[in-house]
């Protein structure tokens, strides 16, 4: 399997820039020079001693000493040559083979097996590295298969979104409109229970249309929207408030804000994020008119936003549940909706690389949501 080559390894520094083979050659050369120099000095000293015509006993001892030294030097020379041969063939050659194999793998051929026979320590190291290579390749293949499956699933999801936005909504519109026409034309002939049944049918069709629209919005996040750009979050909030102007006016809500920054994101999705949060604050209001405040403060390479209100609040034990799709804390007849709004908000924030949470430590009554968005140009 060929994968993109790995980046080059960092350059060694200091004495590490010299390869191991050259270190052995350097040390061996120094040892050889020292050995030859030692042999030469001893032989010269022995020859000069013999020139002094020592007594026969001393001369015989010197002769035996010279023979012994020659034998020792010969043995040491043979050991040195043998050690050099062992180091070359048992250490340096396997290291060179393993290095070449690792370079092949680093070049992108991740199916290339790493293996050396000797020495035992290097063979064990090669075995462990090859096991890691095998696991990486297996994980890569699984990820590739999952990616292909995800692409196929996304294609089917887009097809479903098209069907849901056209083929499913048309029958629902017909059910609602013809049921209403039935009530208008034959209303005088229907009793109160029949009219109630018609109301249930129309209400169910309209709620199904709303649910389909919300599901489509949820499925489109990160797939069919434009690219992220530098966005004025204040402008996104203005667009959201404009969309909610009638609701805000009817409820007497007041929306205040801090100076809002530029962030990296998608203008349409950020507008939808602000709209859902402000609409939630208006919907779950207490007896007094809603007061909503949008704040923002810098936190490293992210902006931390907040949306605070004076509504009925949310208990901290539901801090995770409220972000799950179709999860509701109140009956539909008390607070209408599909239960997708906060799940959609979290998905939008996570698509932008941030996170959304309920601030359980906020002071005062009401609810405070906090979320992060990346700094523009960060």
Helix ranges, the chain (H)? 20-51, 56-86, 93-106, 120-163, 169-186, 192-220, 233-243, 245-251, 267-283, 341-351
pTM (2 decimals)?
0.55
Q: What angle do CA 277, 283, 288 make, to 5 degrees?
A: 115
Most confident of 58-72, 100-114, 264-278, 349-363: 264-278
Query: Is 109 strand, coil or helix?
Result: strand
Query: What is the Cα–Cα distance from 340 to 219, expressed in whole angstroms?
Result: 11
276: domain CATH number is 3.30.565.10
Tokens of 33: 């020079």
pLDDT surpasses 70 at 231: yes
pLDDT surpasses 90 at 303: yes
Q: Is residue 147 very low, low, confident or very high in pLDDT (cuts 50, 70, 90)?
A: confident
- CA-CA distances (angstroms) from residue 31 to 15, 18, 21, 22, 329? 20, 19, 15, 14, 84
> Which of 162, 196, 220 represents a domain boundary (last residue)?
220
Q: Is residue 282 domain-resident? A: yes
Give the contacts of 270 (CB within 8 A, at least 6 positions apart).
231, 233, 236, 263, 348, 352, 373
Do residues 233 and 206 both lie within one domain?
Answer: no
Q: How many domains does the chain have?
A: 3
What's the mean pLDDT when you consider all of the chain?
80
pLDDT surpasses 70 at 99: yes
| Predicted pLDDT at 235 | 93
Query: What is the Cα–Cα distance from 253 to 303, expressed in whole angstroms?
Result: 26
| Predicted pLDDT at 233 | 92
Query: What is the Cα–Cα distance from 54 to 82, expressed in whole angstroms?
Result: 39
By the 8 A CB rule, do 108 and 5 touch? yes
For residue range 324-355, what is the model confidence (pLDDT) as tens digits?
A: 876 666 666 556 666 778 888 898 899 888 99
Do residues 233 and 216 both lie within one domain?
Answer: no
By the 8 A CB rule, do 9 and 51 touch? no
Higher-pLDDT residue of 167 and 149 is 149
Do residues 93 and 57 both lie within one domain?
Answer: yes
Q: Which of 11-20, 162-171, 174-183, 354-363 has the lowest mean pLDDT?
A: 11-20
Do residues 233 and 262 both lie within one domain?
Answer: yes
Do residues 313 and 366 both lie within one domain?
Answer: yes
Residue of 216, 292, 203, 209 whose CA lies nearest to 247: 292
Q: Is residue 124 very low, low, confident or very high in pLDDT (cuts 50, 70, 90)?
A: confident
Q: Is residue 219 very low, low, confident or very high in pLDDT (cuts 50, 70, 90)?
A: low
pLDDT surpasses 90 at 372: yes
| Predicted pLDDT at 178 | 83
Longest alpha-carbon distance in the chain:
152
Residue of 147, 146, 31, 138 whose CA lies nearest to 87: 31
Number of neighbouring beta carbons within 10 Å of residue 35: 14
Which DSSP category does 290 fall into? Answer: P
Q: Is the bond preceding residue 73 a cis peptide, omega within 30 degrees?
A: no
Q: Which region holds residue 118: left if phi is over 0, alpha if psi is between -120 and 50, else beta?
A: beta
Q: Is residue 143 domain-resident? A: no
| Predicted pLDDT at 263 | 93
Higher-pLDDT residue of 309 and 109 is 309
126-133 contacts at long range (C-beta below 8 A, 24 or more positions apart): 126/98, 126/101, 129/102, 133/105
Do residues 370 and 249 both lie within one domain?
Answer: yes
- CA-CA distances (angstroms) from residue 236 to 92, 175, 268? 65, 36, 8
Do residues 268 and 352 both lie within one domain?
Answer: yes
Q: Is residue 139 domain-resident? A: no
Q: Is residue 177 very low, low, confident or very high in pLDDT (cuts 50, 70, 90)?
A: confident
Do residues 201 and 295 both lie within one domain?
Answer: no
Query: What is the Cα–Cα distance from 285 to 251, expressed in whole angstroms?
Result: 9
Q: Is residue 357 very low, low, confident or very high in pLDDT (cuts 50, 70, 90)?
A: very high
Query: Which structural domain, as residue segments, surrounds residue 184?
Result: 149-220
Q: Over range 118-127, report the average pLDDT.
A: 81
| Predicted pLDDT at 162 | 66
């Amino acid at each position: 399997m060929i994968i993109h080559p790995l980046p080059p390894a960092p350059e060694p520094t200091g004495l590490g820039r010299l390869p191991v083979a050259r270190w052995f050659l350097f040390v061996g050369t120094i040892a050889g020079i020292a050995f030859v120099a030692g042999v030469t000095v001893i032989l010269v000293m022995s020859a000069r001693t013999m020139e002094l015509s020592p007594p026969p006993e001393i001369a015989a001892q010197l002769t035996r000493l010279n023979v012994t030294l020659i034998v020792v030097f010969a043995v040491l020379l043979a050991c040195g040559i043998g050690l050099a041969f062992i180091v070359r063939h048992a250490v340096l050659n396997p290291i060179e083979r393993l290095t070449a194999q690792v370079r092949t793998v680093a070049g992108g051929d991740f199916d290339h097996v790493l293996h050396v026979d000797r020495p035992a320590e290097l063979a064990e190291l090669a075995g462990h590295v090859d096991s890691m290579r095998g696991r990486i390749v297996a994980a890569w293949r699984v990820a590739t298969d999952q990616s292909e499956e995800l692409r196929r699933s996304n294609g089917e999801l887009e097809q479903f979104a098209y069907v849901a936005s056209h083929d499913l909504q048309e029958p629902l519109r017909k059910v609602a409109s013809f049921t209403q026409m039935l009530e208008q034309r034959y209303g005088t002939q229907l009793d109160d229970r029949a009219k109630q049944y018609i109301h249930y049918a129309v209400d169910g069709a309209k709620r199904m249309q709303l649910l389909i629209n919300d599901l489509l919005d949820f499925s489109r996040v990160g797939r069919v929207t434009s690219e992220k750009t530098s966005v004025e979050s204040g402008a996104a909030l203005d667009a959201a408030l404009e969309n909610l102007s009638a609701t805000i006016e009817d409820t007497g809500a007041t929306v205040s804000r801090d100076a809002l920054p530029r962030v990296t994101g998608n203008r349409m999705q950020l507008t939808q994020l602000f709209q859902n949060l402000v609409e939630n604050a208006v919907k779950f209001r207490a007896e007094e008119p809603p007061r909503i405040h949008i704040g923002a403060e810098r936190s490293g390479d992210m902006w931390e936003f907040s949306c605070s209100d004076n509504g009925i609040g949310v208990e901290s034990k539901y801090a995770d549940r409220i972000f799950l799709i179709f999860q509701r804390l109140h009956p539909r007849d008390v607070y209408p909706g599909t239960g997708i709004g906060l799940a959609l908000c979290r998905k939008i924030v996570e698509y932008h690389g941030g996170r959304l949470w309920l601030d359980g430590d906020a002071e005062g009554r009401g609810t405070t949501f906090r979320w992060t968005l990346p700094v523009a140009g960060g």
